Structure 1
Amino acid sequence: MAWRSRTRSLQVFDTELSADAVEWCPLPQWHNVLVCGTYQLLKTPHGAGVGSSSPSRVGRVYLFQFRQQGPLCPPLTEIQRTDTAAILDIKWCHVPVSEHPLLGMATATGELQLYRLIDTQEGSCGLEAVSSLNLGPDRLALSLDWSTGRGESCGMRVVSSDSAGCVQVLSVAEAGLTSISQWKAHDFEAWISAFSYWDTQLVYSGGDDCKLKGWDLRIGPSTPTFTSKRHSMGVCSIHSNPHREHILATGSYDEQVLLWDGRSLRQPLSESPLGGGVWRLKWHPTHEHLLLAACMHNDFHILHCQQALEGDGGACPVVASYILHNSLAYGADWSRLALGGPPPSSPCERPQWGGVRNECGGHLRIQYESPTASFDTSLEDESGRYIPENSGPSVAPPPTPAEDAPSLSCLLATCSFYDHMLHVWRWDWSPEEASVGVAEGVRGKTGMGDEAKAGSSTSRCGAE
């Protein structure tokens, strides 16, 4: 018995500006709502005066609705776009605030901005600005996280980090954001900050100084509760597991994903080499062992972490990879929306149908009308695996499924930077009798632009 793992691209959207953050709404009534944030550096034209040499950064937030309306109808519909300052991170609050979903954005002007999702007169929905707070002068807000990751609204707060190496905790109320505390946490950019969802008095931060730190808000931020130098390069992703107490995932420019037990932080539970620099990590909203990773120069991967969490100490196997982006892999998120019907068949499994045609060299070209773009989808082998030309380090196969193991179908969204593309795709995973397991090693990207040739230590915005 083995697992059958299949990914299918559903739609591609050109965001025009560089895309770096994407989030599905976690609230039940709005599971079909998706936002995408963008970041664009506008360089001063050659020959401009000295006084205008400072670059400006602009952004845009897109609001989409997802509806399954048949195989030839693009499921994602843009319903609003709002020009903003450049966006570096976006997160939905996990609980409603005054009966509305609330979206937080970290921007290049050093602000945290809050938007409320409201119903419109046209019968749709839209984002409405609620409040904002500047974290400090001459800095970029780099990340934010809500304390509500387990669906608890008591003492709702936001934590944010910035390019000055500071971390700030803010309370959220009807009147908006109020700063509770701010402190210098890292020597360089504090790329990421996050709550422990099980004890929201605990905050984690990671910085370009290669350090992972913990902070207890009850005793104040004068001294971290721990400092780890286990990552060899800048720490840029942290996510607390909302289903399993004490479990923390971290990612770094050193291309490693580390899993930690918060009760013993001297050594990680496991270390998984993914390649490309791990910019974002997201635990699955309902399955405690599945972890989504955006790996900058090496695509998007889904890790199965069960054996690592049970203490075997080995690397987490990659059970699926999405390789269709052609630029830096930054934004990634799981949707809670239930997918209806089976996945589309591979061209080798049924005749081609309208809007789809086979291409030479083992590619399938899917063509939609605007607002989607045309793109190439690599075909899979008989067991549903993508086979790029280059292969990276291999990893161990996932656990053998039980005979009654349930199948799983997930909807995901990912976005990439320089090609300014948002992809919506599905992943189907089910036990299957097969002679070959479907777990894959991390695959290298082919045909990348110059940005993929740069070292993975290059920061997204610090270098700009």
Structure 2
Amino acid sequence: MASIVPLKSLILEAPPSCIEFSALFPDVFVVGTYVLEQTPGHSADATLENSTPQTRHGELVYFRLSGDNITEIHKADTNGAVLDLHFRPIKREEPKDRLCVATSTGVLELHDLAASGPQNDRPRKFRVASSDTLVLSLVWHPNRSDVVAVTLSTGQVRLCQLTYGPISEDIPDIIWQVDLITHGLEAWTVVFGVDGKCVFSGGDDGTLRCHSLPDEPDTTAYSASMDQDFLGGDECTRWVDRKAHTAGVTAILPLLRGVIITGSYDDKIRIVSSKQFRRQILAELNLGGGVWRLKYIEGSQSSGVAADHADMRVVVLASCMHAGARIVEIRKQRDDWSIDVLARFEEHQSMNYGSDIQPSKEDGERNIISTSFYDKLLCLWRWKDDSSKD
């Protein structure tokens, strides 16, 4: 198992909470920051998990990666601290990438990235919760460029349709939003299934939950009845699993129809059968730290849709909080699943909340950026997949 050293390290001005590369402009990545102001009676070491109402602020920091050089190119203030951010997976013909940002003030922000650089002077803002509610995570719908799901510090998993009309000075209303799921404590993570027909969520209550959605409607504007159909009506499937995880569920990746990958505060990554009447743990492995985020390096949920019954291999980047980052291989051979750690990156001395892989279509070494919270450390490192087998 490889233990990797950094090629480049930077100390940021503020604690990093999340990070993502742009697929459209793969030399650019964005870091979201989270600053909790000290107030009387509260610890200065409060973390992302602390949802007590306090003053929080943050910003987006844009970097360009060229070889081993990391250059800061832009900063943009946000409406509160940044908890999560993701570029839109569906690319339109327009030559720009769209970034959705989850903040600590109940607001989503949309920022645009063009070839010339960030376009952040007037980001679109959408209120999806009250100003004292943290938007803890977000995910874009795989087939709809205007639909996102968010999770809240109050436990709700909320589905929202955004509008891309003219930018207003005020925070505009979204077209519609609805609560699909409610956790007993903070809802930490949400994903759509591989075909967009269901939503999976995980919470601090240790539960994994699912809410099904119907077949994708056409791309015309929704009517009220179409919205009701999209949300599943009274015949949608819902389930709750309270047994698979022994602590909060903090990360989920869709893998196949009926199979997901999860991460938890209990330090374990799991492959879980997500079928309504056959939920079970197919494989699990202790990664040595709370598994806060999971991202694909090789293979993906989209390639897995057509291979439900075939052998498969995927490689995942795991941000493991106090244990640093791990590169994990997941294999399926017939009905047997396995999980193995291929590499470790352990330079971080505090919580590793955010890591990402530079998009690349070429074989060879992959550039990875990982961050840690309290020490404000950002590291560049590389990994080459030498473990793939025919």
Q: TM-score range by the shorter chain?
A: 0.7 to 0.9
8 Å contact kept, 2:213–2:236: no
In 2, the alpha carbon distance for the partners of 1:421 and 1:256 equals 24
**Match for 1:185 among 182, 185, 189?**
182
Deviation string for 1:175-231 (max 9, x for gaps)?
2853332245101101111111x2213101111111000001342489762211210
1:133–1:220 distance in 2 versus 1, CA, 3 Å:
farther
**Match for 1:267 among 260, 280, 302?**
280
Q: Report the CA distance between 1:163 and its aligned residue.
A: 0.4
**Match for 2:380 among 398, 412, 424?**
424
| TM-score, reference length from structure 2 | 0.79
Is 2:76 aligned against 1:82? yes
**Equivalent residue number for residue 439 of structure 1:** none
Deviation string for 1:422-441 (max 9, x for gaps)?
21211023269xxxxxxxxx
In 2, the alpha carbon distance for the partners of 1:190 and 1:88 equals 13
**Match for 2:21 among 24, 45, 55?**
24
Aligned to 2:6, the other structure's residue is in SS state strand
Is 2:336 aligned against 1:312? yes
8 Å contact kept, 2:273–2:279: no
Is 2:59 aligned against 1:60? yes
- Structure number with larger C-alpha Rg: 1
Aligned to 1:306, the other structure's residue is in SS state strand
The 5 A counterparts of 1:252-401 are 252-263=264-275, 265-284=278-297, 286=299, 288-307=313-332, 310-314=334-338, 316-337=339-360
8 Å contact kept, 2:299–2:314: no
**Equivalent residue number for residue 154 of structure 2:** 164
Letter in 2 for 1:319: L
**Equivalent residue number for residue 237 of structure 1:** 251
8 Å contact kept, 1:282–1:292: yes
1:182–1:304 distance in 2 versus 1, CA, 3 Å:
same
Letter in 2 for 1:271: E
8 Å contact kept, 1:327–1:417: yes
1:431–1:191 distance in 2 versus 1, CA, 3 Å:
closer
Q: Report the CA distance between 1:338 and its aligned residue.
A: 5.6
Deviation string for 1:139-184 (max 9, x for gaps)?
1000001123xxx5x4642110000101111224422853332245
1:310–1:105 distance in 2 versus 1, CA, 3 Å:
farther
Is 2:204 aligned against 1:208? yes
1:310–1:35 distance in 2 versus 1, CA, 3 Å:
farther
Q: Report the CA distance between 1:13 and its aligned residue.
A: 2.2
8 Å contact kept, 1:10–1:75: no
Letter in 1 for 2:282: L
Deviation string for 1:251-283 (max 9, x for gaps)?
111111111233365202211111221100112
The 5 A counterparts of 1:408-419 are 408-419=364-375
Aligned to 1:203, the other structure's residue is in SS state strand
Greater RCO structure (CA 8 Å; 6+ sep):
1
1:272–1:54 distance in 2 versus 1, CA, 3 Å:
closer
Structure 2, unaligned runs of 5 or more? 43-51, 166-171, 215-231, 301-312
Q: Report the CA distance between 1:337 and its aligned residue.
A: 3.1
1:104–1:129 distance in 2 versus 1, CA, 3 Å:
farther
In 2, the alpha carbon distance for the partners of 1:156 and 1:240 equals 20
**Equivalent residue number for residue 217 of structure 1:** 213
Aligned to 1:191, the other structure's residue is in SS state strand
The 5 A counterparts of 1:125-204 are 125-137=118-130, 138-148=132-142, 152=143, 154=144, 156-175=146-165, 177-196=174-193, 198-204=194-200
Letter in 2 for 1:178: I
Is 2:228 aligned against 1:228? no
Q: Report the CA distance between 1:130 and its aligned residue.
A: 3.3
Letter in 1 for 2:246: S
Aligned to 1:269, the other structure's residue is in SS state strand
**Equivalent residue number for residue 353 of structure 1:** none
1:245–1:126 distance in 2 versus 1, CA, 3 Å:
same
**Equivalent residue number for residue 224 of structure 2:** none
In 1, the alpha carbon distance for the partners of 2:186 and 2:387 equals 44
8 Å contact kept, 2:111–2:119: no
Aligned-residue CA RMSD in angstroms?
2.7
8 Å contact kept, 2:140–2:149: yes
Percent identity, please.
30
| TM-score, reference length from structure 1 | 0.67
In 2, the alpha carbon distance for the partners of 1:185 and 1:143 equals 14
1:112–1:224 distance in 2 versus 1, CA, 3 Å:
farther
In 2, the alpha carbon distance for the partners of 1:166 and 1:17 equals 28
Higher strand fraction (1 or 2)? 2
8 Å contact kept, 2:366–2:383: yes
**Equivalent residue number for residue 117 of structure 1:** 113
In 1, the alpha carbon distance for the partners of 2:206 and 2:355 equals 23
Aligned to 2:281, the other structure's residue is in SS state coil
In 1, the alpha carbon distance for the partners of 2:188 and 2:263 equals 11
